[in-house]
Structure 1
Amino acid sequence: MIVIPMVGLSSRFTKAGYRKPKFMLPLGDCTVFSHAVGSFSAYFGDQRFLFVVRDVEGTADFVRRECDALGIANARVVVLPEMTRGQAETVMEGLSRGGCPDDEPVTIFNVDTFRP
C-alpha cells in the first residue's frame, strides 16, 4: 500500500498569499498532486493507495477526481476531523481509520515531492 499523508496546513504558501493548498496548485499542465502521485504510475493498477486528508477546500473530492484522472484503480480517501501532531500520527490515524491490516507493507510518500 502507498500512503500519501495530506494533512499539513500549507502555512508557508498561505502566508505567501496562496488561497489553495499547495498540492492543488497548477504546475504546467497538471497539479502538484498529479506530479507527485504520478511518480507511482507503474503501480496504479496493482497497489492500493491511501490518501489521508482534512476536508478543507474540498480536498476529499479533489483527491478522488485526480485519482480518477490518473487511472488509479484502488484509491481510498480517509478524512481526519482535525489536525494531527505530525506525519507519523497522520499515517497511523489513516491506517487505523482505513481498516488497513497491521501486517501490510506500506510506502509513505509526501504529496509535494516529485522530480520533474
Structure 2
Amino acid sequence: MPLNVVITMAGRGSRFYAAGYTVPKYEIMAHGRSLFDWSMLSLKNFLTPDARVVFVCLKENDSASYVRQRCDALGLRDVYVIELDQITDGQATSAYMSRECWLPTEPLLIYNIDTYVNPQVLKPDLVRLDSAGWVPCFQVPGEHWSFVELGEDGWAVDLAEKRRISNFASIGLYWFARADSFEQAYERFFADDNNLVRGERYIAPLYRQLISEGKKVSIADLPLDAIHVLGTPAELEAFLALDLSEQLIAAL
C-alpha cells in the first residue's frame, strides 16, 4: 500500500550552533552516519518502493541538495522537498504546509529528524486494526514529551503536550490512516486557539479531534533502549557514548 511519509526538518538547529557545531543538525555525524541517515534508518520498514517521501525544510538552511543526495543514496525515488520561507508555529503546521504533495486517501506518517529508533522494533504491523491514528510510545521520565492516556480497552482516550497524563510518551512519530484526515483534523482542531500549547501547534493533541469524532487511536509500547532522542547537544553526546554495534548489525 502506498504511504505518505512527511519528515519535518524546518528548524534552525540553534542549540547545536550555540554548542559549537558548524553544520546543520541533520548533517552532524554520529557513529559514522549523519543524524539525517539515523532518522531515516528508523523508518526502514515503512520506506517501501511506493512510499512518497516529503521533506519540509527551512529555505535559509539550503537543505534541498543535501536531502536529494541522501535520498538517492538511500534508494528513495518519489521524493518532494518543500522549502519554507520562515519557521512555523509548530510541527503540525510544518506538516500541513506540505499537503499538496500528499496522496490524500493513503496513510500518512509524520516524523522528525531528531530521533533514531532501532527499526527492529518499529514496524507497520504494530498498527492496531481499525486505528484511525497510531502513536508509538516509550515509557520515559520527564515532562517535556507528548503523552497518550489509554482507556481500559487499550485505545487512547486523551493526548497532551508537555503534560504528563500517563507514562506513555510519543517517540515523535505520528501515523494517520488517511492523509486527508490529518488535514481535516488540523483545520477543525486549530480553529480554536485554545488548542495551541504555548502558542504552538503540536501534532499529538490534534488526535483529540479524531477521538471526539468517534475514531480510534492506538499506540505501541516500544522498549526504552531502542529509542535514541537526538534533539539537543546533550542528547547527542549521550548517543555518541553508546556502543551500538549489535543494533547496527541487526538494523542493516
- 1:68 corresponds in structure 2 to 72
| Contact persistence 2:60–2:85 (CA under 8 A) | no
What amino acid is aligned across from residue 106 of structure 1 in structure 2? Answer: L
- 1:4 corresponds in structure 2 to 7
- 1:88 corresponds in structure 2 to 92
Residue of 37, 62, 73 corresponding to 1:58:
62
- 2:30 corresponds in structure 1 to 27
Gaps of 5+ in 1: none
Gaps of 5+ in 2: 118-243, 245-252
Residue of 34, 41, 49 corresponding to 2:53:
49
What is the Cα deviation at residue 4 of structure 1?
0.3
- 2:113 corresponds in structure 1 to 111
Which one has the bigger strand percentage? 2
Q: Give aligned-pair identity as a percent.
A: 33
Structure with greater Cα Rg: 2
CA distance, structure 1, for counterparts of residue 63 and residue 57 of structure 2? 7
What amino acid is aligned across from residue 105 of structure 1 in structure 2? Answer: P
CA distance, structure 1, for counterparts of residue 31 and residue 73 of structure 2? 16
CA distance, structure 1, for counterparts of residue 48 and residue 57 of structure 2? 20
Cα RMSD after superposing both structures? 1.7
Aligned residue pairs, count? 114
| Contact persistence 1:44–1:73 (CA under 8 A) | no
What amino acid is aligned across from residue 6 of structure 1 in structure 2? Answer: M
